[in-house]
Structure 1
Amino acid sequence: MNVTTYGLLAGALSLALVGPASAVEDDDYAVEYHNPDPWEPVNRVVFRFNDTLDTYALKPIAKGYDRVVPGPLDDGVTNVFNNLGEPKNLVNNLLQGKFHDASVDLSRFLMNTTVGVVGLFDVATRMGLQRNDEDFGQTLGAWGVESGPYVMLPFFGPSTVRDGSAFAAEGFAGYTYGSQMDHVPSRNTARGVDVVDTRAGLLSQERLIRGDKYRFLRNVWLQNREYKVMDGQVEDDF
């Protein structure tokens, strides 16, 4: 992946607002989460770097993409990349012993790839097969591996020691579509489009940010991450 694509990826992951914890109360800023942030000074420096890339590179491109690409086509692009992620969901659900969810992943992939025209149309969801969102970090969490400290990765955004290591291992193992493409220009183009499409989908959620942007996004990300690792079985601290 070239430098430009790394830069695009930064902003999208730094603005990971989606999930059940997106509406955070002001008092939440004082809450101590399971994942401490002992490296906050360094993390803040990296965050400013990522945020600058997002402000001057990714966000303007995402806005242009959002204005130019028609809604149905935008939905189709999102569906295609979601479909390309189904094998990753399948493998991780199998590793976690969630065989019913794994069968859903397989059914979704086969159905959307064929009837849905290589994933352009999400016919599986319309038939009641809801998409899962699994990765190797969640698998390690399910196996009892502690998350470790929160860390802000250059270009890639919020993570933890566990999830950052899992992210690298997942890419090496070829779970994601990018590592399965031998043609480098096509691979980088696909990743770039995926990132821009994801960032465009987050434009409307920026209004949720309040107070200290770094702390807000960190707390939202950690809450959402815990929710995913625990499959929603978390205690309500609020």
Structure 2
Amino acid sequence: MRVFDRLAKACLIAGVMLSPLVAQAADEDPWEGVNRVIFRFNDTVDTYAFKPLAQGYQYITPQFVEDGIHNFFRNIGDVGNFANDVLQAKPRAAGIDVTRVIFNTTFGVLGFIDVGTRMGLQRNDEDFGQTLGKWGVGSGPYVMLPLLGPSTVRDAIAKYPDSYTQPYPYMDDMSLRNSVFGLNMVDTRASLLSAEKLINGDKYIFIRNAYLQNREFKVKDGKVVDDF
């Protein structure tokens, strides 16, 4: 299929770019000074643009419509989950995710209804950064990406292959592509509004630590060593 051909080429490019990083041991956040500057920029844009849009969207959108839109984008995300299940040699997870896509797209009306979860098919959450981590590629230093938020060098580069499991590269109508992308961004931001209440202390450090711990948990499939 076209998506897997393009994903394979993108994976090869990402692997070549990441090869020098595998042997490089680095502190988690050696670029903190620059990262904080980018974080402040992102936080300002979020405060005056993304967050108000998300709040307005959540305010005017009926809950069942918001849930349907969220399910729709999660269904698209299951394509990437399936691709990375295969790349990580996880046949059971791959079977679950491809079944979810089929059932949700058909019986769930293009994914607006999450029938897969109701049938007991629990969604996996995989991406190419986790795939690289699965096969031993180190995360590299923490990096704050403009507008995109927290990441690591490995995960930032992995966004390129992951982009080919999204519909945007295959949409020729620019206005439609931008509208769908924008709606996805607003939906994602709206889903994070409630999580902001958990942030305390230095916001930069809180987000950095939460991101790095969450990524380690996902790469190791929850098999992490408790430091305490």
Q: Please, what TM-score do these two structures have when normalized by structure 2? A: 0.87
Structure 2: unaligned runs, 5 residues or longer: 1-25
Match of 1:187 in 2: 177
Question: 2:66 and 2:40 mapped to 1: Cα distance?
Answer: 29
Aligned pairs (5 A) from 1:10-159: 36-159=28-151
Question: 1:205 and 1:86 mapped to 2: Cα distance?
Answer: 23
How many residues are aligned here?
203
Change in Cα spacing, 1:169 to 1:35, as seen in structure 2 (3 Å) is farther
The reply to whether residue 161 of structure 1 matches residue 162 of structure 2 is no
Residue 169 (structure 1) shift? 2.9
Q: CA RMSD in A?
A: 1.1
Question: 1:168 and 1:152 mapped to 2: Cα distance?
Answer: 16
Residue 35 (structure 1) shift? 6.0
Match of 2:209 in 1: 219
3-state SS of paired residue (1:237): coil
Cα pair 1:35 1:222 within 8 Å, conserved: no
Structure 1: unaligned runs, 5 residues or longer: 1-33
User: What amino acid sits opposite 2:86 in the alignment?
Assistant: L
Deviation string for 1:63-97 (max 9, x for gaps)?
A: 11111001111000000000011111111000000
Identity %: 58
Match of 1:19 in 2: none
3-state SS of paired residue (1:120): coil
Match of 2:220 in 1: 230
User: What amino acid sits opposite 2:93 in the alignment?
Assistant: D
Question: 2:187 and 2:144 mapped to 1: Cα distance?
Answer: 22
Deviation string for 1:146-196 (max 9, x for gaps)?
A: 00000001111111011111112322xx11122222212111111111111
User: What amino acid sits opposite 2:159 in the alignment?
Assistant: F
Larger relative contact order (CA 8 Å, sep ≥ 6) = 1
Question: 1:96 and 1:211 mapped to 2: Cα distance?
Answer: 37
3-state SS of paired residue (1:164): helix
3-state SS of paired residue (2:165): coil
Q: Which has the higher helix share?
A: 2
Cα pair 1:35 1:147 within 8 Å, conserved: no
3-state SS of paired residue (2:151): strand
